[in-house]
Amino acid sequence: MRCLIGLKLFKMEILSFFPFIISFFVTLFIVPWWIKRAKNAKIVGKDVNKLNQEEIAEAGGITVIFGFLIGLLFFIMIRIFWYNDTSTSLSLMAIIASILIMAFIGFIDDILEWRIGLKQWQKPLLSLLVALPIIVINAGISNFSIPFFGTINLSFFYLFVFVPIFIVIASNAFNLMAGYNGLEAGMGIIMTFTLGFIAWTNGHGWVAVVALCMTFSLLAFLIYNKYPSKIFPGDTLTYPVGALIGILGIMGNMEKAVVILFIPYGFEFFLKLRGKLKKQSFAKPLKDGTIEPLYDKIYGVEHFMHRFLIKMKVKVTERKLVYSILIIEILLAFVVLLLYA
């Protein structure tokens, strides 16, 4: 009897890894295909941090979303057909619906950018649609523990005010820090892996699988997106990944973790306000392979880290700048892990 139980548990553990592997290899297989098709369709953008400003395939996030969704659908399939478990099917389908909506909005913005694009006020407004599937299934835990007041049930306020605002802020904030090879994908990997690990250790196994499907899909994408990049993520990646991070926080009761992980984006937002949201995060490439700031003042985390590295007497390259920001995010991830330990 013990042998049978042990065998079943072993099979469950093995099957849990299949969605991650599928997400990774589906994305890895599709990226080269999309690079070729995007270039043929002129869906390209200039790599402005390079001297030659080569045209790179854009909207690469579509490959990540596809890999993520295939892995997640496989996970749903094995839960239903292998374990006869439909307990989380509604929540999983709501997540899929939200990510598809956000990916569609991001893809529209990527395609129309060269013509009319989406206005700044339109993006957060459209992002409200992403929260609808999460709201209609009454997701999340509305009980909050507040010092000196005890546990408070926010009920209606949580579902119809907090949830949409939380998802809208997460999806739009993640789009703020972009424009450097591997930055968006790298940040996404750290954040989704951290949330996946917390969910796994706190008994939210299905939430962990959702998070790690995205982690592995982003890992495959990073192979082509890291310096020197062969494909750019575009809004098709940044908006859905940001939305997913917000959704994971709600589904896994990890809102505090999400807030901490988004600290660099909070700084990015306020620094960009200094430039009335019009200053670019890009740098000026030099012949020796280094980069220098476009402005005298700091209008983003990227600009801040650039000046910090210069003060540390480091020759700043695009790769070093990205690594320095990712290291900060890793440190925040450790803080989150300690908080939830």
Q: pLDDT value at position 111?
A: 82
pLDDT at 2: 43
Q: What is the pLDDT of residue 151?
A: 64
Q: Which pairing describes strands 283-285 and 150-153: parallel, antiparallel, or unpaired?
A: unpaired
Domain membership flag for residue 272: yes
Helix and strand tally (H, E) in the chain?
A: 13, 6
The answer to whether 213 touches 219, Cβ cutoff 8 Å, is no
Range of the domain at 168: 19-279+318-339
Distance (Å, whole) CA 75 – CA 202: 19
Question: Is there a domain that residue 297 lies in?
Answer: no
Specify if 4 maps to a domain: no
DSSP letter for 285, please.
Answer: E
Contacts of 73 (CB under 8 A, 6+ apart): 96
Residue 221 forms part of a structural domain: yes
Q: Give the Å distances, CA to CA, from 102 to 172, 174, 239.
A: 10, 13, 6
From CA 206, how far away is CA 196, in angstroms rounded? 9
Instruction: Evaluate whether residue 128 is within a structural domain.
Output: yes
Give Cα 245 to chain centroid, integer Å: 6
| Residue at 12 is within a domain | no
Q: Which residues of the chain have pLDDT under 70?
A: 1-16, 113-122, 142-154
Q: What is the pLDDT of residues 209-249, one digit of tens each?
A: 999 999 999 999 999 999 999 999 999 999 999 999 999 99
pLDDT attached to residue 8: 46
Q: Is residue 10 part of a domain?
A: no
pLDDT at residue 146, rounded to an integer: 60
pLDDT of residue 145: 61
Q: Could you tell me the pTM of the whole model?
A: 0.92
Using a CB cutoff of 8 Å and minimum separation of 24, what contacts does 86-93 make?
88/206, 90/137, 91/137, 91/139, 91/206, 91/251, 92/206, 92/210, 93/133
**Predicted local confidence at residue 278, as pLDDT:** 82
182 within some domain: yes
DSSP code for 203: T
Please tell me the total count of domains within the chain.
1
